[in-house]
Structure 1
């Protein structure tokens, strides 16, 4: 069997697994300096876009296409490629369709989708620079049926990793924002705890994996990557099983496929649960998901491509570990990387941890993170203390 993988940056997370399955791997990548280029059986350096991957998929007579793209911008083109290859050539592409991708890639469309389907999400409204300036000079503070209250979250429809998002604490903050952007939508700031769930979905089957705790919402608007994150989420009054089922229903309603992340904010004082957004691409929390559940989301994409994916098998294979993740402190970076490099020979595709090293390092060298696995959350903290990454 032959599978075409698009994108080399995440290919190391599936290359060994595909080899174990006897899959002939073909890789396309637009960056000749990207890592992991030598891991595929055959490599093609191609221009950006999906035209060349389509041509290669057909000329190489592959059995499936698995995009490994972790950024939003190319996803619309990927979805269009999916429609072409599946409709015209009956060639499966393990990615979301155009309808769900257009919704998830546009934050405003996502909000409207939630609203239209009675899925609770923070209040929001659209505004442009002209309306804001009028509102700013209006003593009644009204330009529509809404008030621009503070704090409020100002967002662009497109953006990833916090780009185009600002927490406005006062009018001056909003004024600075509209000096840069012509349009925005305003979302009510919700105090609570951020939780995300990765959902695997293919051909009408969906299964949510372990909910991940991503920290509390704060007025300093600390990026999630700079917070300590854990799995499973241990939040008072939050039922993780109900949360998983809700995430599955949302994904099914949207019709998304592959791996999808659904993000929530939960207020433990009011028990109010809001859905914030969705991402139809590999998640930044996938190592926490893998560590806590034993299920590797990206390897599941390979199984979908081979036609051997079954949510019942995933459910039966799910483990119950605790995972702890944080940025790797600079003062421990050199020593921890040396230890990790020496232990890489013990890593297999399905066993990233060993008894002597219950942790892994991952991410770009300038923003490395460490994920720890243990039987329970207390043990993860003890390991973190022994590693001298927390006090």
Structure 2
């Protein structure tokens, strides 16, 4: 079995698994300085775009293609590659098709999709610098149609803030700011089989736009019963049902990440966006459920993936993820990217942006491990 992987940045998350499964790996990468290119059995340095990966997939006679791309911009091109290789060569490409990629990659199209399907999403409107803007109900969230990682997002506290934003950007998508809790859930979907994984707690919403990667996160989500009006298990199951419904409506394939907010004021859950790419919460997902989303992509490409098998393998652990910047450890490499047992931890991420994800049988086990690692959790509590 031979697979082509597109993109080296995330390859260290699958390298140990592919070696264990005896899979021959071919990697394409456009950056000659990229880490992880030496972890594959062979690699090709290619220009940006999907034309060369397509040619290599055909020339190398691979059995499947797994794009390991964590940014939105190339996803439409990946979808076109998928369409051509699957239609003309019968070669599976584990990524979402064009319609799903186009909608998820554009926040305005995402809003239209959610509204059309009667799915709760924060109140929103479009504004432009050439029109009279009369907004009320501050604070408001200002966004661009494209962008990720908090880029070009601003919390406007006044009309002046909106005017300053429109001086820099000609237009904006405006949402009502919700005082609540940020939630994420990853979704696996392949050949019309869908498995929503564990809901993740990403922290409370803040007016200073702190990105979730800079917050302490937990899984599974555990909101106080008095806040949600039901027990945490039932609430999490309701989120998983929402995720399953949206993935099926959108027709995602491979892995996707759904972002939600629980509004503490009106006790309702709103959908923000869905991203058809690997999630930043994938380590928490793996720690808490024992299902590694990127490993599942490999199984999809080899033809061995089955949703019922995934459901049977899912476990229930508590998981905690802490940003550590730079942490002295020799374990930040592909050989240590699998959790060992019910109380274990891994370190991951590039220099200055490292994180430690801890698995425990219960929350107190995670806290004990955090103390042993000398992690200061108090500065993350909000």
- 1:221 is displaced (CA, Å) by 2.0
Residue 220 (1) aligns with residue 208 (2): yes
CA contact (8 A) 2:16 2:335 kept: no
Say which of 316, 323, 327 aligns to 2:323: 327
The whole-number CA distance in structure 2 between the counterparts of 1:329 and 1:116 is 42
The whole-number CA distance in structure 1 between the counterparts of 2:141 and 2:220 is 28
Aligned to 2:239: 243
The whole-number CA distance in structure 1 between the counterparts of 2:125 and 2:118 is 16
CA contact (8 A) 1:353 1:360 kept: no
- Compared with structure 1, are the counterparts of its residues 77 and 329 closer, same or farther at alpha carbon in structure 2 (3 Å cutoff)? closer
- 1:190 is displaced (CA, Å) by 1.2
- Give the secondary-structure state (helix, strand or coil) at the position aligned to 1:111: helix
Q: TM-score, normalised by structure 2?
A: 0.93
The whole-number CA distance in structure 2 between the counterparts of 1:72 and 1:110 is 13
The whole-number CA distance in structure 2 between the counterparts of 1:113 and 1:83 is 22
The whole-number CA distance in structure 2 between the counterparts of 1:153 and 1:289 is 28
Aligned to 1:365: 351
Aligned to 1:378: 364
- 1:388 is displaced (CA, Å) by 2.1
The whole-number CA distance in structure 2 between the counterparts of 1:48 and 1:23 is 25
CA contact (8 A) 1:346 1:354 kept: no
- Give the secondary-structure state (helix, strand or coil) at the position aligned to 1:4: strand
Gaps of 5+ in 1: 136-140, 142-146
- Give the secondary-structure state (helix, strand or coil) at the position aligned to 2:352: helix
- 1:242 is displaced (CA, Å) by 1.5
- 1:12 is displaced (CA, Å) by 1.2
- Compared with structure 1, are the counterparts of its residues 345 and 151 closer, same or farther at alpha carbon in structure 2 (3 Å cutoff)? closer
Gaps of 5+ in 2: none
CA contact (8 A) 1:97 1:256 kept: yes
Aligned to 1:295: 291
- Residues 272-311 of structure 1 aligned to structure 2 (within 5 Å): 272-311=268-307
- Give the secondary-structure state (helix, strand or coil) at the position aligned to 1:122: coil
CA contact (8 A) 1:329 1:389 kept: no
The whole-number CA distance in structure 2 between the counterparts of 1:386 and 1:15 is 29
Residue 153 (1) aligns with residue 141 (2): yes
Aligned to 2:257: 261
The whole-number CA distance in structure 2 between the counterparts of 1:177 and 1:56 is 44
CA contact (8 A) 2:321 2:355 kept: yes
What is the CA deviation profile of residues 24-52 of structure 1, one whole-angstrom value per residue up to 9, with x for unaligned ones? 11110001111111111111000000000
- Compared with structure 1, are the counterparts of its residues 179 and 268 closer, same or farther at alpha carbon in structure 2 (3 Å cutoff)? closer
RMSD: 1.7
- Deviates most, 174-183 or 290-299: 174-183
The whole-number CA distance in structure 2 between the counterparts of 1:380 and 1:20 is 28
- Compared with structure 1, are the counterparts of its residues 329 and 44 closer, same or farther at alpha carbon in structure 2 (3 Å cutoff)? closer
- Compared with structure 1, are the counterparts of its residues 381 and 129 closer, same or farther at alpha carbon in structure 2 (3 Å cutoff)? same
The whole-number CA distance in structure 2 between the counterparts of 1:317 and 1:106 is 34
Q: TM-score, normalised by structure 1?
A: 0.91
Residue 112 (1) aligns with residue 104 (2): no
What is the CA deviation profile of residues 225-274 of structure 1, one whole-angstrom value per residue up to 9, with x for unaligned ones? 11110000001225111111110111000001000000110124532010
- Give the secondary-structure state (helix, strand or coil) at the position aligned to 1:328: strand
The number of aligned residues is 369
Compare CA radii of gyration and give the structure with the larger one: 1
Residue 60 (1) aligns with residue 47 (2): no
